[in-house]
Structure 1
Amino acid sequence: MRSFLKNIGTSVLAATLAAGGLLAATGASAQQRPIRIGAFTATTGGASFLGDPQEKTLRLYVDKINKAGGVLGRKLELFIYDSAGDARQAVTYTRRLIEDNEVDIIIGGSATGESMAVIPIVEEAQIPFISLSGGNVVVEPVRKWVFKTPGSDRMAVSKIYTDMKARGFSKAAVISGDGGFDKSCQKEAVTVAKTMGIAIVADEVYAQADTDMTPQFTRIAGAKPDAIVGCGFGLGGVITVRNHRQITPQIPLYFTHGVGSQQFVEGARGAAENVRITVSPLLVAEQLDDSDPQKKTLLEYTKEYQEKFGEKPAAFGGFSYDALHIALAAMQRAGGTDKAKVRDEIERTKNFIGIDGIFNMSPTDHMGLDFNTAFRLTEIKNNGWHLVK
């Protein structure tokens, strides 16, 4: 698949405030080399529903911040490659970002497999890497140079099981794909169930290339679970809800954040109705209480994205919003782009109100999100997202 490089950046204005509360310096420092932001996202291909809003978000805010004066008196320069969700491409572009583009930080990895593939490279190069992948395995165990912004699949399945128990359910079936994110989610679904008193009565897997999951759902029906937990994303998630509607419509279906976009709902063609999904609060921002500390940031992001691209942002775009702003705030605190200092400051991120939650990172937690703010439980009604309270 064709790959492309976009180099984004406009001239620095000698000025005031950068977006996200980042102060821009003035004077001689404005003549320094631009701050180089490296990125790779699955802008095309099967995971484009993840990568497209991530790429658009990076482009939007690099431009916005530059127009506001940049950071530390320096403009931002964005080098972004389309990995098409391919781990091999991700490796190639990560090396290029480090060796040819000489970037100061890397943001990317729309899919968990991509992030896992590049971790050895960024660790060896000692460059900060903020992943956009959902799998726990990206930051567990903690690696010195690796961080991530999406909430974890462990948090997602924990929220699902909490709701199941509130509804009197005690038996679950799990259905997942064979990709990196799916495997991580499936592992957590099985592990967390043991600690929360949920019995897993069926554990089914499908290949990413499968176009029908009738055999899996037939076996699930025979196991008689109280509810089904879907671990997957993309086309696999769409096929899952369609087959569920055909074979096991009487059994409540849950999904984690891998399907957190309107594209999933529209692709399901009505089959997603009544499905409960753990998602970023972005998708239900207007339904949040006015006292919610994230609401202002969520609504501003939605407005700015929609004005620029003529569509509402998917939850996945918030991953790159948070990654970019956390990185730039760290650079400001570090007083520059020294990679070791920036890494240390990312790790010291405290009370950062982002799209995906309120971040508090530490040497033992390179994600920094908590159960309460990382996800909200929603239910699809009339093809829309509705907060479950």
Structure 2
Amino acid sequence: MKSPSTLKFVLAAGALGFSFAGAAQAQETIKIGSVLSATGPASFLGEPEDKTLRLYVDKINEAGGINGKKIELVVYDDGGDANKARTFATRLVEDDEVVAMVGGTTTGTTMAMIPVFQDAEVPFISLAGAIEVVDPVREYVFKTPHTDKMACEKIFEDLKKRNLTKIGMISGTDGFGASMRAQCIKVAPNYGMEIAIDESYGPRDSDMTAQLTKIKNTPGVQAVVNPGFGQGPAIVTRNYAQLGMTGTPLYQSHGVASKSFIELAGPAAEGVRLPAAALLVGDKLPENDPQKKVVTDYKQTYESATKQPVSTFGGHAYDGLFILVEAMKRANSTDPQKIRDEIEKTKGFVGTGGIVTMSPTDHLGLDLSAFRMLEIKNGDWNLAQSGS
């Protein structure tokens, strides 16, 4: 049996050997981390993100990597659990020693991970929707999706064009739904909107008829707005049709911008409007639209590789990865601080979500023009006709 001192020596030697091997590997590859909700209730978001990252990391490596170095992608699946997300974030920093992170499928998991990457000074590009991810600005935290505040503004802008000013709101109590609800209440007066009734539902609720009946019976309600993601908005849409409310326009958020929402909601989705990225209507964009080539190329590549319809959520991962890759190329370094600085200098990046220009005071880099107002017609996405 080894003495305690001998055992300590063996362990130390093993640790040194491991660190030497890790250092050698670090010189050969660039480690990028990702924590995604590839399974669980948010899998319709996380799965396309996961597939997108793996698909394009392989393509980048086949083309020679970043400045001659291959990317090593380290991915963990948090199943939508914020506590697991934080544990995996710590593992990425302490054990995997990643130089940057692209992930964070939901607002809840993202907010749980932010302190880990902030403390470790590792740049984190989130794929979550809520404005609280980047407001207030944190030095090492960025994001690619449009914010919930922008979604409220785009919806209210469209309602105003249609001369609809009195709305009923029904929101999910999940992190994104609650955050967007708060943002809608905050910006409503700027657009002359009156929220006549404000209802909510839980993430496991399977019937929202009671809440929608209250909205239906509220005098003067001209439109319904539903902040939320997951199956909840599809249930709201079906119940809304069952109650014969289709004469009252229904607006969803960009949190349901995938074909799975249309499939879940079925015929009830007809006429529903929502703000979303140009990606969903790439083939309907004019030829001179600067995003057309990017979104049609991504759509073709993704659908050819996965045999599944494209969603804006995979697009968020595409944008996050390539914002990071371009920043690394400019930095010509794997130093997290230098990478962070170059992410913040991103200017005129044409992505699936819009044209991104970041700054020290803006870690999103998108304005309201990056959102397109869509309407579901004949089971597909279409650009909504302004004012109609």
Does the pair score TM above 0.5?
Answer: yes
Q: Unmatched 5+ residue regions in structure 2? A: 1-23
Q: Select which of 106, 115, 135 maps to 1:140.
A: 135
Report the Cα distance in structure 2 between the residues aligned to 1:359 and 1:128, rounded to whole angstroms. Answer: 17
Match status 1:202 vs 2:204: no
Report the Cα distance in structure 1 between the residues aligned to 2:40 and 2:31, rounded to whole angstroms. Answer: 26
Amino acid at match of 1:203: D
Calculate percent identity across the aligned residue pairs: 49
C-alpha change, 1:293 and 1:30, in structure 2 (3 Å) is: farther
- Hey, what does 1:160 align to over in structure 2? 155
Q: Select which of 225, 249, 254 maps to 1:252.
A: 249
Q: Unmatched 5+ residue regions in structure 1? A: 1-28
Instruction: Extract structure 1 runs of 4+ deviating beyond 4 A.
Output: none
- Hey, what does 1:384 align to over in structure 2? 380
Indicate the larger mover: 245-254 or 62-71. Answer: 245-254
**TM-score, normalising length from structure 2?**
0.91
Write the mapping of 1:184-263 to structure 2, written as runs, cut at 5 A. 184-224=179-219, 225-247=221-243, 248-263=245-260
Question: Contact 1:171–1:226 (CA<8 Å) still a contact in 2?
Answer: yes
Report the Cα distance in structure 1 between the residues aligned to 2:333 and 2:265, rounded to whole angstroms. Answer: 47
Normalized per residue, the structure richer in helix is 2
Aligned length: 360
Per-residue CA shift, 1:238-270, capped at 9, x if unaligned? 111011112222211001100000001001121
Match status 1:90 vs 2:85: yes
Q: Secondary structure at the match of 1:292?
A: coil
- Hey, what does 2:343 align to over in structure 1? 346
- Hey, what does 2:302 align to over in structure 1? 305
CA displacement at 1:31 relative to structure 2: 9.4
Write the mapping of 1:175-186 to structure 2, written as runs, cut at 5 A. 175-186=170-181
Report the Cα distance in structure 1 between the residues aligned to 2:331 and 2:25, rounded to whole angstroms. Answer: 17
Match status 1:276 vs 2:276: no
- Hey, what does 1:14 align to over in structure 2? none
> Could you say what the CA RMSD is over the residues aligned between the two structures, in angstroms?
1.3
- Hey, what does 1:48 align to over in structure 2? 43
Report the Cα distance in structure 2 between the residues aligned to 1:66 and 1:290, rounded to whole angstroms. Answer: 31
Report the Cα distance in structure 1 between the residues aligned to 2:209 and 2:263, rounded to whole angstroms. Answer: 21
Question: Contact 1:30–1:73 (CA<8 Å) still a contact in 2?
Answer: no
Q: Select which of 38, 44, 56 maps to 2:33.
A: 38
Report the Cα distance in structure 1 between the residues aligned to 2:104 and 2:175, rounded to whole angstroms. Answer: 12
- Hey, what does 1:365 align to over in structure 2? 362
Q: Select which of 157, 168, 174 maps to 2:169.
A: 174
Report the Cα distance in structure 2 between the residues aligned to 1:40 and 1:155, rounded to whole angstroms. Answer: 25
Match status 1:65 vs 2:49: no
Amino acid at match of 1:35: I
Question: Contact 1:31–1:74 (CA<8 Å) still a contact in 2?
Answer: no
**TM-score, normalising length from structure 1?**
0.91
Q: Select which of 122, 128, 133 maps to 2:117.
A: 122
Amino acid at match of 1:235: Q
Report the Cα distance in structure 2 between the residues aligned to 1:301 and 1:307, rounded to whole angstroms. Answer: 10
Question: Contact 1:30–1:74 (CA<8 Å) still a contact in 2?
Answer: no
CA displacement at 1:30 relative to structure 2: 11
